[in-house]
């Protein structure tokens, strides 16, 4: 059975939005403990002598990814940071991406239909100007 490209595109979008959130159990760990969870990922040389921070994720007590930080230069500098906002239904409605200087680089907003299915992602620049948007069409076959 061939999967329609629109479904593959949407799945890719969702995976990129929550990046590492699909790692097994991270959000679920936070939710099951009812506490905020910070996950730090470290890179280590094969001999184990050197390690540096590579990636950090922060989940709220509901298990939602609320912040993500990627590091560069062997953990010495922030490459980018994202903050995620959800509505009262638990749907991702906004992602703010900050650059290496911790200045807003871009903002993504998400729109959903009445069933909670993402229908559009709007892409804004740092000044709040709409650059583009992605419209999602779902075709069941």
Q: What was the pLDDT predicted at 4? A: 54
Q: How is the chain split into domains, by residue range?
A: 5-43+51-102
CB 102 within 8 A of CB 78: yes
The separation between CA 7 and the C-alpha centre of its own chain, rounded to angstroms, equals 19
Spatial separation of the C-alpha atoms in residues 79 and 104, rounded to whole Å = 13
* pLDDT above 70: residue 15: no
* pLDDT above 50: residue 117: yes
Residue 131, both tokens: 């650059």
Of 16-25, 34-43, 58-67, 75-84, the range with the lowest mean pLDDT is 16-25
Sign of CA dihedral 14, 20, 26, 30: negative
pTM of the predicted model, to two decimals?
A: 0.79
Average pLDDT for residues 28-45, to the nearest whole number? 94
- List pLDDT tens digits, range 50-68: 999 999 999 999 999 999 9
Give the sheet arrangement for strand 104-112, strand by strand: 37-44, 51-59, 65-72, 77-86, 92-98, 104-112, 118-125, 130-135
């Amino acid at each position: 059975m061939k999967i329609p490209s629109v479904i593959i595109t949407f799945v890719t979008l969702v995976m990129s939005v929550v990046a590492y959130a699909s790692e097994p159990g991270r959000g679920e760990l936070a939710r099951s403990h009812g506490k905020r969870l910070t996950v730090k990922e470290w890179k280590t040389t094969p001999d184990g002598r050197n390690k540096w921070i590579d990636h950090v994720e922060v989940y709220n007590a509901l298990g939602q990814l609320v912040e993500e930080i990627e590091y560069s230069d062997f953990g010495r500098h922030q490459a980018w940071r994202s903050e995620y906002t959800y509505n009262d239904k638990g749907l991702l409605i906004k992602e703010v991406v900050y650059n290496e200087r911790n200045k807003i680089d871009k903002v993504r907003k998400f729109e959903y239909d009445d069933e909670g299915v993402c229908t559009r992602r709007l892409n804004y620049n740092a000044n709040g100007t709409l650059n583009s948007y992605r419209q999602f069409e779902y075709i069941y076959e």
